[in-house]
Amino acid sequence: MRISDPTSISRRHFFLQGAALVVGFSLSRLSFAEIAGEDAVPAALTKSVDPARVDAFLVLGADGTLTLYTGKVNLGTGNTTALAQMVVEELEFPLERVRVVQGDTAMTVDQGPTNGSMSVQGAGIQLRQAAATAGAAIRRAAARAFRIPEVEVRMENGLAFRGTDHLEGIAYHQLLATQPETLGLDPKAPLKSPRNYRVVGQPVKRDDVRSKVFAEFTYMHDVRIDGMVHARILHPDAYGAQLSAVDDQHAQKVPGFLRTVRVGNLLAAIATDEWSAICSARAIRATWSSWSGLPEETKLFDAVRALPIHEQGKLLERGEPDAEIKKAGKVVHATYCWPMQTHGSIGPSCAIGDYRDGKLTVWSSTQAPHMTRDQIAAMMKMGTSDIRLIYVEGAGCYGRNGHEDATAEAAILSKAVGQPVRVQWMRQDEHGWDPKGAPVVCDVAGVVDSHGRIQAWKYTTWVPYRVSGNADVPLLAAELVRSSTMVDEPNNAGGMEFNVIAPYDVPNMSVVVNRTSTTFLRPAWLRGPGRLQHTYANESFMDELAVAANEDPLKFRLRHFDDSRAQAVLRAVESRSGWQRRPLFPARSTSDIARGRGMACVRYEPNRAYVASVIEIELNQRTGVLKIGKVTIAHDCGLIVNPDGVRNQVEGEVVQTISRTLFEHVSFSRSAVTSVDWLTYRLLKFPELPSEIDVVLLDRPEQPPVGAGEPTCAVIPSAIASAIYDAIGVRPRSVPFTPSSLLELLQSQGPRSSPS
């Protein structure tokens, strides 16, 4: 996709595109669920972003096209399809005539980052209310035109009819062309009853999938700007290193080399094309100071415990758990560890910056367009109104990866060279310098009485504290240009305390969070932050208590989880998977292949989705290789907007979290990340996929829709750990469950008995 000057479209041309509900227009070559990138409408005063106005979210064009504007973005999850379904349901409008503009800060309301499974339950509710407001206005206009009471107006498929029997209707845009309205969003506009839904709840296909499958889709990496040059960044040799000298005499001999840019520790080669930029960067000789402040990798979790504590939070103090534990004859103790992990985006981060005459336009794959714009504005000391960020879909991310950092680098370099600059990270940049999911350590102690009831539960964890309420992760470029060492900066994104409190009915329970002042490397959110790590610990510990009680783990949970929706997903996964109730680990297998099955459940906080899983595994006791068999998921996210979309999300979560559970961890030396490619940062491979993923969706139309993009992640690691215990009688407590770590577990059990 080639983009000419983004500010070249005139205001007069914009208004001549049409006038309807408020101001109407169409965006050429924009298909459903795509973004406004090519020939995009300029900023200035041509589009409202006032969330109190309907036209901030919906504009009905003179050609009958409805354009939906959302600050949320499609990260490959199909959320824009679900949002469009919610809008057309309230507006009685054909889905095929909807266009979606997403994540353009000049054209969309700031609806927050696309994270935490919040698109449908956040932006969706806003859009639905805007559609309901618009629908009421259309009904009023039709009643005036037909000279009938509003209740007699029938709205269907983008047409307004004179009563139920008339077959010829007037298109909304034609009706409003003679009766234009400026609408304030009515938060109390009546909504359609779920009983009458015709589009919401249907498996509407995403029309971006075909173009992606056939390599026709325009990704961020495909965008080209007239006059653009290319940059390659030379990131530091070590995490806390300082740049002391630069020699680019060899780079100057590279065909296509233009110049070297240095701003503090930010160093880049600028060239006419991408390959020349790569060659130029390789030819530059940069001298960095030495630094070795990271802990030893083998002592990572000891180092986490030793971090300075910013504050200690007691999230729950119920009953007297210490007293119960002290007097108990048998206490179950366990420690669970989660490593640093990286996003591992298949395509390295890419962005374009275009700084002209004090104004900046950036094209980015960030999942937080408005937040990233604000951070760049602060970094460059510019007003937010002078910066426009246009979202273009890139390699997926589930949290904060390198997209924002590449965007900031492109902005700085464009201002430095006076031309549009494209920044493309290399694989070692992505793995080495994207923010990491922080390591987490959890200590748990508990007591079960003789009747199989949990009497005490004590949970202590170490997580980074949240530095600021807006949860900004410092931009790498901002740290580099001011020559920060990045070592002692307060840069914790936070958000790591959800699902710390186990949801079970326990009379004596305490939960303590040690919020560390900092952590290692640059931390950020990674899919299911906190929820994944703490659910892994809590659900693993539930299994350990079930073993202590000699109980079936599913029955044990039902006894302690007095929540009807939680019980429903547990019973659904039990039925669907063919779960047979019995205690875990009936007998040690004498053959090479040991088989087991495990389960877990979660009430995902804070949105209260409910998920239960059953996972079957085979473990080769000779090699330590684990094979995932059938995975069964029961999923309750309230009202289901698009069942195909939810299944797609759930299946993706299963696959990604299996990868994170079995393989993924950041390797590092005392100075830098060393897992900077796909050999050293191992992902799940296609032959290692589960043999089957069976998803049971529990639709609850009477409940508000909540997100489906994260909750399933939380139940995968502990279910796998449970299945391993069921197979060999020993539980892995530290992720990832690699062949070597599983062999160590097996060796701790002693030799197997010979088969008779």
User: Tens digits of per-residue pLDDT, 351-393?
Assistant: 999 999 999 999 999 999 999 999 999 999 999 999 999 999 9
Integer angstrom CA distances of residue 218 from 2, 103, 221, 222:
10, 16, 8, 6
CATH number of 220-290+343-433: 3.30.365.10
The neighbouring-strand residues paired with 593 are 620
Residue 397 is predicted with a pLDDT of: 82
- Treating both helix axes as pointing N-terminal to C-terminal, what angle do 531-548 and 716-728 enclose, rounded to 10 degrees? 30
The pair phi, psi for residue 436, each rounded to 5°, is -105, 150
- Treating both helix axes as pointing N-terminal to C-terminal, what angle do 739-748 and 716-728 enclose, rounded to 10 degrees? 40
Q: Can you read off the two tokens belonging to residue 409?
A: 């680098």
Distance separating alpha carbons of residues 353 and 418, to the nearest angstrom: 10
- According to DSSP, residue 348 is labeled P
Distance separating alpha carbons of residues 79 and 72, to the nearest angstrom: 8
CATH number of 2-193: 3.30.365.10
Instruction: Work out the number of other CB atoms within 10 angstroms of the CB of residue 159.
Output: 19
Integer angstrom CA distances of residue 303 from 330, 351, 374:
30, 35, 34
The pair phi, psi for residue 489, each rounded to 5°, is -70, 140
Q: What is the dihedral of CA 404, 405, 410, 412, to 10 degrees?
A: 110
| Domain assignments of the chain as residue spans, ordered by start | 2-193, 220-290+343-433, 440-748
Residue 664 is predicted with a pLDDT of: 98
Integer angstrom CA distances of residue 184 from 20, 55, 124, 188, 529:
15, 8, 18, 11, 37
The neighbouring-strand residues paired with 423 are 231, 351
Distance separating alpha carbons of residues 71 and 592, to the nearest angstrom: 53
Query: Helical H runs in 351-396?
Result: 369-380
Q: Where are the beta strands (DSSP E) in 538-608?
A: 593-604
Integer angstrom CA distances of residue 5 from 77, 227, 526, 590, 711:
31, 10, 35, 70, 42
Cβ pair 509, 445 in contact under 8 A: no
Distance separating alpha carbons of residues 156 and 135, to the nearest angstrom: 11
Mapping DSSP to helix (H, G, I), strand (E, B) and coil, where does residue 284 land? coil
Residue stretches of the chain with pLDDT short of 50: 5-45, 754-756
Mapping DSSP to helix (H, G, I), strand (E, B) and coil, where does residue 306 land? helix
Distance separating alpha carbons of residues 196 and 160, to the nearest angstrom: 18
- According to DSSP, residue 123 is labeled I
pTM: 0.91
Report which of 610, 612, 616 is spatially closest to residue 598, judged by C-alpha positions: 616
- According to DSSP, residue 65 is labeled P
Cβ pair 646, 117 in contact under 8 A: no
Integer angstrom CA distances of residue 211 from 31, 33, 350, 424:
11, 12, 20, 23
Q: What is the dihedral of CA 744, 745, 750, 754, to 10 degrees?
A: -100
Distance separating alpha carbons of residues 269 and 463, to the nearest angstrom: 38
Question: Residue for token digits 């009458």?
Answer: 196
The pair phi, psi for residue 133, each rounded to 5°, is -65, -45
Report which of 628, 600, 398, 430 is spatially closest to residue 495, judged by C-alpha positions: 398
Query: What residues contact 76, with CB distance under 8 A and at least 6 apart?
Result: 393, 396
Distance separating alpha carbons of residues 350 and 487, to the nearest angstrom: 25
Distance separating alpha carbons of residues 40 and 390, to the nearest angstrom: 9
Cβ pair 315, 513 in contact under 8 A: yes
Distance separating alpha carbons of residues 385 and 417, to the nearest angstrom: 22
Distance separating alpha carbons of residues 458 and 317, to the nearest angstrom: 9
Cβ pair 493, 524 in contact under 8 A: yes
Q: Can you read off the two tokens belonging to residue 399?
A: 């949290």
Pick the CATH number of 440-748 from 3.40.50.2300, 2.40.30.10, 3.30.365.10, 3.30.230.10: 3.30.365.10
Sheet holding 593-604, edge to edge: 593-604, 609-620, 626-636, 692-697
Widest distance between CA atoms in the chain: 91
The pair phi, psi for residue 347, each rounded to 5°, is -100, 125
Query: What residues contact 378, with CB distance under 8 A and at least 6 apart?
Result: none
Report which of 87, 107, 112 is spatially closest to residue 39, judged by C-alpha positions: 107
The neighbouring-strand residues paired with 334 are 444
Distance separating alpha carbons of residues 645 and 206, to the nearest angstrom: 8
The angle subtended at Cα 424 by Cα 363 and Cα 272, nearest 5°, is 95
Q: Can you read off the two tokens belonging to residue 724?
A: 């391993």
Query: What residues contact 25, with CB distance under 8 A and at least 6 apart?
Result: 14, 17, 18, 41, 59, 61, 62, 67
Q: 740-751 burial, b for 16+ CB within 10 Å, e for fewer? A: eebbebbeeeee
Rg (CA), the chain: 28
